[in-house]
Amino acid sequence: MRRTRRNHAPGFKAQVALAAIRGDKTLAEWAEHFAVHPNQISEWKQP
């Protein structure tokens, strides 16, 4: 059985990106907290 791709809402992406920009935790820690891949967070942070 194939798994469907997850679609993230723009608001969720913004929330994750802002949390990562704040710098409280590492990118890996935020990725684990929000259950996404660290590379996704890096892409969402870019303008």
How far apart (Å, rounded) are the C-alpha atoms in residues 11 and 7? 12
Domain boundaries, the chain: 10-45
> pLDDT digits over 1-47, tens only?
888 989 999 999 999 999 999 989 999 999 999 999 999 999 999 97
Residue that is written with structure tokens 């920009």 in the block: 21
DSSP state of 26: -
What pTM does this model have? 0.84
Per the structure block, which two tokens stand in for 15?
């929330």
